[in-house]
Amino acid sequence: MRLVFVGPPGAGKGTQAKVICDKYKIPQISTGDMLRAGKAAGTLDPELVKTMASGGLVPDSAVIDLIRKRTENDDAKNGFLLDGFPRTVPQAEALNKLLEERGQKLNVVVALEVAKDLLMERACLRRTDKKTGQIYHLKYKPPPPDADLEHRADDKEDVVRNRIDTYEKMTADLLPFYEKSGLLERVDGVGEVAAVTDRVLGAIAKRA
């Protein structure tokens, strides 16, 4: 099973990806997580750190390279879920080329749809447990008292607004691209997490 999750910041891609990956026993491959890990390790180009802090997209070449290498790992042989990649048409074309070289195909591209006002609230009140990677929300999924919480640097209100604008400008073309290739499934991302999971599973089942 090879899946892509597309959606604006705070749409719930990471939250849903964890459940789906557990179910299908495939790795969640998040370019955002990989870039943040590079930043934490001090190995990420300072220019990319600046781009992320402002809510822009890092250059296509940087993430394509990350995906090429990460999908070569043994754990990705039987499939993977790409969370937040591709985000532009050139990234999608590079992914197609890479899969073609390996004789592989995508099964489905799930687009999670959430209204803008909810996205702001979801991203700004998100907290992540540094040790477990578990995603919480101060209103919708309060963390336990012993969680070691992190507030993402790009989850400040002005940066979230820029990230949403960037998504609308840079990623909008991606949906028609995948619609044309017949892979796109649009899923309503509003409601209880479990209800959204059911819709995502329904969308995957149509293409599996």
163 in active site: yes
14 vs 27 by CB, closer to ligand AP5: 14
52 vs 103 by CB, closer to ligand AP5: 52
127 in active site: no
Cα–Cα distances in Å, from 75 out to 32, 33, 100, 105? Answer: 19, 17, 19, 17
71 close to 7: Cβ distance less than 8 angstroms: no
Which contacts qualify for 137-146: CB closer than 8 Å, 24 or more apart?
A: 141/193
Q: What is the DSSP string of 62-131?
A: HHHHHHHHHTTSGGGTT-EEEES---SHHHHHHHHHHHHHTT----EEEEEE--HHHHHHHHHTEEEETT
User: What does the alpha-carbon distance between residue 55 and residue 158 come to, in Å, rounded to a whole number?
Assistant: 9
**Active-site pick, 39, 152, 156, 186:** 152
**Active-site pick, 2, 87, 122, 199:** 87
Q: How far is the CB of 194 from ligand AP5 (least distance, A)?
A: 9
Which phi and psi angles does 83 have, rounded to 5°? Answer: -110, 105
149: its two tokens? 């919480």
User: What does the alpha-carbon distance between residue 41 and residue 34 come to, in Å, rounded to a whole number?
Assistant: 11
Q: How far is the CB of 189 from ligand AP5 (least distance, A)?
A: 6
103 vs 189 by CB, closer to ligand AP5: 189
1 vs 14 by CB, closer to ligand AP5: 14
Residues near ligand AP5, by CB under 6 A: 7, 9-15, 30-32, 35, 51-52, 55-58, 63, 84-85, 87, 91, 122-123, 126, 135-137, 140-141, 154, 163, 191, 193, 196
Residue nearest ligand AP5, Cβ-based: 32
Q: How far is the CB of 205 from ligand AP5 (least distance, A)?
A: 20
152 in active site: yes
Sign of CA dihedral 154, 111, 103, 20: positive
State which H helix or E strand residue 184 sits in.
strand 184-188
Q: How far is the CB of 18 from ligand AP5 (least distance, A)?
A: 8
103 vs 145 by CB, closer to ligand AP5: 145
Q: How far is the CB of 71 from ligand AP5 (least distance, A)?
A: 13
Positions marked active-site: 13, 87, 126, 152, 163
